[in-house]
Structure formats: C-alpha cells, structure tokens
Amino acid sequence: MSLCMGCMQEIGDQKVCPHCGFDSSEQQSAPYLPYGTVLADRYIVGAGIDTNGESTRYLCFDKQTGDILIVCEFLPMGLFSRDEGQTEVRVNYEDRLVFSKLKDEFSDYYRIVSELKEFSALMDVHNIIEENNTVYVIEENEDLIPFVEYVERSNGSIEWDIARPLFMPVISALEALHKRGVGHYAIAPKNMYITSSGKIKISGFASENERKRGTALKSQLFKGAAAPEQYEDNFPLDDITDIYGFCATLFYALTGHLPKSAPERLKDSRLLMSTNTVKKLPPHVVSALANGLQVERENRITDFDELRSQLSVAHTAKAIQEEISRTASMNISRGEQSKKGKNGMSGVSITIISAAVTVLILGVVGVIWLMQNPLAGMFGGDKNSTEAATKATEWTGATIPKLTGMTYSEAEDSVKSNSQIKLMRSINDEYSDSVAEGKIMTQYPEAGTKIDQEDTIYISVTVSKGKQMRELPKIEGLTIDEAATAISKQGLLASPEYQYNDKYAEGRVIGYKDGQAGDSVEYGKKITVLVSKGKEPTEQESSEE
C-alpha cells in the first residue's frame, strides 16, 4: 500500500497525490521525522502539521485500524539534535537532565488528558509511546473545522445564543484539568475546532513549561489570549490564567476580534467592542467578559464555578425569582389564590407578570448601566471600534515570510531584522528538478502562515542541490582548466587522462573517456576527461630524441 504523506490516502505509483496535490518525491527535513517512519510497528508518520517549542504534530496512519490520526512528538527545540533521515533523538550531554525532566512532565500531562475521555471538549488520546529516545502521543483526528474559519463563515462573529452551548462544555473540561493539577494555558481561537456535530474541541495541549516565560523551553504564547502573568518569568499558572484565555476566545467569537495583547492592555486595559455589539449582548455576558479579562489577577474571576455563574442569567435573576416565590407563598397562605382582581387575574398572576416586566426593565437598565458605569470604561464604543469589528476576519497581523527561491544567505538577511524568527537548515540538501541549485526549495511553516504567537518561531528550510541527473557539457577543444570549470558547474568532478591525438593540440581536451556531451550522469560523479598530448611522434622523431 502506497500512501500520500500529505493526506494518508492511497495513491499507488503516483508521485503527486490526486486527492490533495502533495508531492511524495519531497522529503521532510530534519529535525522532523522522515516521511514513512513507523512507530510501535503500527503508526506511519506523514507530514508535519504544526510545531512549538515543546513538540511537533504530524499526520499519521494506523495500520491496525486504518484510521488517520495525529501523532505529537516531544521535541524540545534547543535541547536535542537529529540527523537528516534519522529517527533517534540525540540529547546534548549538558541538557540530558533537563530533557529527561521535561519529557516526564510531558508524558504525565498527556496521561492526565487521556483519562478525561468523558469531556467532549477534550481531544481523545489513543496511545502514549516511548521510542527513539522521546515520547509520542497518538491523538484522534476528527473531521474538524478550524474555529477561526467557523467564525468567519458566520459573518465574522456569532450570537450569544449560539456561543453559549458551544463554550459551556469548555469550562467543564478546563475545570476537570485543573482538578487533576494541570491546565491548558493556551485557550485561543487557533486552538479550537468545531466538530461535524457542532461541538467545540480543544487542541494545542502542552505542559506548563511551554506556556510561560523563563523555562528551558521556547515558550509559545498566543497574542490577545495569553494572560499577563504568562509573560512573567516562571510565574505560577492556575485556573485564573485559563479563565483569561477562555474569556478572550469567547470575546473573539462574539466580536470577531481578540483583545489587544496583555502587555498592551497593561498600559491601556480597555477592550475594543463596538456600541452595537455591547447593546446586542445580554448585560451579564458583557459583565462576565469584563471580569474575566481583568489584567490584574486580583480583580479577575477566580474560579470556574463563578465564571459559569456569571455567564448565565442565574446570578442576575436569582433574587427576583426568590422574591416571586416569597410573595407567592405569602399570597397562598392568606388564601389569595382564590381571589380575583377586577381584571379577573389572581394576585399570584399579577405578581409573576410584574416580575417578568421587572426582568425586562432590568435588562434595559443593565445595558444603560454598562454604558455609563465605570466597568463600561473597559469597552470602546466609537466608530473605529465598529470598523475594527467589521474587518476582524481580515488578518492584518504578521505572517511567515516566503523564503523559497532565495539562497540560504539571502534568507538569513531577509529575517535578521525579525528577532522572533530563527532559521533551521536541514543537514543534507536535496535534489530538485525544478529549483535551481543553492536555492531554498521547501520551508516549514509555509509562507503566509499567520504569526499569532509571540515567542521564537523556527522556520525549517531545505536547500536544493539542483537536478540529480546532470548533462555533460560540450568540452572538445577546450583547455583542461576550461573543461574542468564547465564540468564543475554541473556539480561533477573532472580528472584528466592524457593520450596522443592528431586532431587536438597538446593540452586541449579530446572528449570524455566514457560517454559524450549531452549524456546524463548523477550529481557528484567523477568524470574522466581525455586530454591531448599532441600528435604521436614517429619512430624517426623518437630516435632523434
């Protein structure tokens, strides 16, 4: 069975996949696993999906079940090396203790996630494998729609009535993680997906070491969704941290854009939300967002029960409902249930209708209050914020630059002004029939990929060696130096062999010993060139000498 490494569909002898267009003649460059690597004699590894400072995710095929899954490899950048085409991770000697500790924490983290299968918002972990001196986590791979795409399809934002049933299971999942002593700490639109059944799935799992500054790992924080404390070195993360990310993602869903980054909000804590958006949201939701996105931890919602309560109408209507029950009980105890008013309604009915009107009035008053109360100072409601919300689906942030077609030195020069980007060149260059020698033929992540994290991004590039088969240039009559130059330009090596020749003067090239101009030979091959010693001397000339 021949599989496409880009989509894991059968492609037979075809090199370019008819399903997804992936070119199977390409190779996955180090330090990532080579295409076709088999783990636990079961999982065939394909193309890389994404990477961070702690791990890399690939598509994979389960030979036992025929399922297409995802494998997450513990791959902490800067603490290991891996040769081109190899699977074994080699740990730097001075980093072996740190590597071992981080690897154990990575395994423990995913074991906890694997035990929480009853929570629909969590990805299902199928297996955890130790192999190649590292750890692999096998995850489900459902037919999912990226949450960002889902919001964009919904005209750039979604209504609260739609968002509420989507997000409430996420609160339960986060609560369960924290009860087991771990958190997610990267709840962000990019790490959310929608299933075919219309439910949210959380992705982007990583240990706490990856989600804050000051650890041995290159941290990955998502702009606008990472809490202020995640930017501080080794600040202890907790449920309050995840509440910030959750509320930022819900804010995105309801408005179409994320809050400003936490460092920016420490200078100006206002949230960009148009007046129209504030008016159409229930007041208690606006209040909950404001409380969950406080930049000062002591002012933020402190636990998931409180978050759940503030996002429901229960805490707003509870006092009203209690008053309705109390009044109704009093009326019933006095026998009022049998009495009718002049309008034919009982006292209880009047009380209930009055309470309903009260709720309606409170809703209207709540909106007005939010616009005038100091809490509303967190929100911007001018024309600019409305326009920003309208344009939210248009990504205006930074993207991965295009490096293909450049030489490696040109690529280094093009990114040296961006301290966030680091280049990683594969150890061995590769052949290409379409990309000139010395030019970058592939890069990962691809050009145009959104940069929505605020720490180091590694771009792995592979440089072309040009065509594997090279054409022998025409060299007859050239000097040996001229011929050697022409041959070396083709990536070949020349060695001379001298012989007499009546046609070419001494020192001129006669031709190739094996083959002729126009023949195809493999790159790097040593070519024997025949060089003239001039005419062969006659017997008389030899005797005179």
Order of strands across the sheet with 125-131? Answer: 38-39, 43-51, 55-62, 68-74, 134-139, 125-131
Asked if 68 and 141 count as a contact pair (C-beta separation under 8 A), the reply is: yes
User: What angle in degrees, to the nearest 10, is found between the helix axes of 314-333 and 283-292?
Assistant: 130
| pLDDT value of residue 369 | 43
Indicate the average pLDDT of the chain. Answer: 84
Mean pLDDT across the stretch 214-218?
A: 89
Mean pLDDT across the stretch 165-182?
A: 96
Distance of CA 223 to the CA centre of its chain: 13
Q: How confident is the model at residue 1 (pLDDT cuts 50, 70, 90)?
A: low
**pLDDT 10s digits, 58-111:** 999 999 999 999 999 999 988 999 988 899 999 988 999 999 999 999 999 999
| 113 SS3 class | helix
pLDDT for residue 531 is more than 60: yes
Asked if 512 and 482 count as a contact pair (C-beta separation under 8 A), the reply is: no
| 29 SS3 class | coil
**pLDDT 10s digits, 135-160:** 999 999 988 899 999 999 999 999 99
**pLDDT 10s digits, 410-429:** 998 999 888 888 887 765 67
Asked if 233 and 217 count as a contact pair (C-beta separation under 8 A), the reply is: no
Asked if residue 445 has a cis previous peptide bond (ω within 30° of 0), the answer is: yes
379: CB partners within 8 A, 6+ apart: 270, 271, 272, 273, 278, 286, 290, 370
Amino acid making up residue 29: S
**Token duo for residue 515:** 């083959």
**Token duo for residue 272:** 């960009």
**pLDDT 10s digits, 44-56:** 999 998 888 899 9
Segment holding 271, helix H or strand E: strand 271-272
| pLDDT value of residue 378 | 57
The residue among 459, 54, 444, 94 whose CA lies nearest residue 218 is 54
| pLDDT value of residue 231 | 94
The DSSP code for 446 is: P
Residue 103 burial (C-beta neighbours within 10 Å; 0-12, 13-18, 19+): buried
| pLDDT value of residue 488 | 87
**pLDDT 10s digits, 359-372:** 444 444 444 444 44
pLDDT for residue 162 is more than 80: yes
- Higher-confidence position of 91 and 324: 91
Q: Can you tell me the distance from the alpha carbon of 487 to that of 471, in angstroms, rounded to the nearest whole number? A: 9
